[in-house]
Amino acid sequence: MSLKISSTQSLPRDAVTWVLAFLAKRGAGKTYSASVLAEEMLKANIPIVVIDGMGIWWGLRISRDTKSNGLPIVVFGGEHQDLPLIPDKAQQMARAIVESNISCVLDLSGFSKSQMKKIVPAFLDELYKINRMERHVFIEEADMFAPQRTIGPEDAICQGAVTSFVRRGGNHNLGVTMITQRSAVLSKDMLTQADCLVILRTLAPQDKKAIQLWVEEMTDKDKTALAKWYDSLKELENGQAWIWHPEAPEIYKKIHFRERETFHATREFIRTPQAGHIKLMDVDDFITRFRAVFEPKPKLVQEAPIAKQAGIPVSFGPKPVKVEVSLSPPPVATGKPPEPMIQQSLPNLTIEQFKPTLGLSVEMLDQPTTILGKVAVVLNNDPNNPGKWNLKRIVKDIQDHGWDAGDTGEAVNQLLRWEILVKRADKYLQLHKGRIRVVNHEGALVAQ
């Protein structure tokens, strides 16, 4: 099986573990062309990961005309997210993606550059550690994560992690596609790792110089001919590219990438009203597989253990057995002493019922780890209409936080059993807010 990227050129399936660099000026079609390669891999059932700092790769999920399905890929984060992208859970996400074997887009467009540069190294480090099957990672705007010049420790850590991932990824069957409009700014350590260059229209002399350094390292072609070739790069049309893979199978060819089968979310489209009405392909099966690994179904604790957990004793104690000994009426003249009569009272069982105060571990009140924690935070943080809660309102508030609302109904039922929520005659739920308490211990917020 090959990856057909144009009417005249296919890449071998082995390209899944290559390191490719798509280089071009802005607007020349580098992201569009890289997406064609991504489509081919998805159609070949090769799992991919896209690190998308621009928020445009969700278009793989819908057809070119936006009227039918695209390809099965889960979107984390961004305006078209299936699931939220949680910054401090990047490593857990990487493990769950590998274990559930899904393709995904990490849409980082809603985060600051500083946050992106913390998420990406954590994710890639973990992905490298645990991946063993063929998987390809597309890095959009790669120069952002691995610049030639770093400013401060944050840049250096991110650059080091990304460069290491590119250099060593092949050992764990990981391939990489780097996409950049600034060849000169991309780390030279990254660019020299490329097995294959895909060069679209390039104008800036400094970007051509970066390409030249790679070419001179990889080939002994005549420098005069190469000089003419460098100059010709400015004449390439949108979507037209030189593919250069110097090792077997050797490829040195000018091609025009085929048309995309999925939607290309341009900057112009994102600004239109239609952008808010896009309906992406259903990928519930893939989401379910991911969730089963990333957030296993929480086990709700039963009433007696919960009371114990909240620090409230539950006692089941009979009253002491009362044994009364009495003598029978005066003895009859039989010559024998009277026989004692023993009367035993049946014990009374006393059950003391306590209503526990909810004790849950909540991470700084903005990233609860269980559905019960999410419900508790939502109930505690909204002072409006405490007697007008219902399941629909609770689910909406959870989703507005960007959290998964699965199993909300089960958590609400548990709160009803504890009488933290009480169902009213008008079918609304009344919150007893004093039963959810937030206490500050040494600067850490913990909900009890």
pTM of the model: 0.65
Residues in a beta bridge with 75: 105
User: Residue 52: what are its φ and ψ, rounded to 5°?
Assistant: -115, 100
pLDDT average, residue stretch 62-86: 92
Q: Report whether pLDDT(296) > 80.
A: no
Strands (E), 95-143: 104-107, 135-139
pLDDT score at 115: 95
Query: Which H/E stretch holds residue 442?
Result: none
**Positive or negative torsion for Cα 134, 239, 63, 9:** negative
CATH architecture, domain defined by 362-447: Orthogonal Bundle (1.10)
Q: Report whether pLDDT(320) > 60.
A: no
Q: Whole-number mean pLDDT of the chain?
A: 82
Q: State how beta strands 2-4 and 10-12 pair.
A: antiparallel
Residue keyed to tokens 């039989």: 334
Q: How confident is the model at residue 56 (pLDDT cuts 50, 70, 90)?
A: very high
pLDDT average, residue stretch 42-48: 96
Residue ranges of the domains in the chain?
Answer: 2-294, 362-447
Residue 311 Ramachandran class (φ > 0 left, ψ -120 to 50 alpha, else beta): left
User: Residue 349: what are its φ and ψ, rounded to 5°?
Assistant: -90, 120
pLDDT score at 91: 95
pLDDT average, residue stretch 220-241: 88
SS3 209: helix
pLDDT average, residue stretch 128-157: 94
pLDDT per residue as tens digits for the range 384-395: 666 688 888 888
pLDDT score at 356: 59
pLDDT score at 347: 55
pLDDT average, residue stretch 309-313: 46
pLDDT score at 338: 57
Across 166-182, b (16+ Cβ under 10 Å) vs e yields: beebeebebbbbbbbbb
Q: Report whether pLDDT(300) > 70.
A: no
Residues in a beta bridge with 239: none
CATH node for 2-294:
3.40.50.300
pLDDT average, residue stretch 215-234: 84
pLDDT average, residue stretch 329-348: 55
Across 94-104, b (16+ Cβ under 10 Å) vs e yields: bbbbbebebbb
pLDDT score at 297: 63
pLDDT score at 362: 45
Strands of the sheet containing 74-76, edge to edge, are 74-76, 104-107, 48-52, 135-139, 174-180, 19-23, 196-199, 240-245, 251-256
Residue scoring higher pLDDT (380 or 46): 46
pLDDT per residue as tens digits for the range 265-274: 876 666 566 6
State how far the Cα of 88 lies from the Cα of 84, in Å rounded to an integer.
Answer: 12
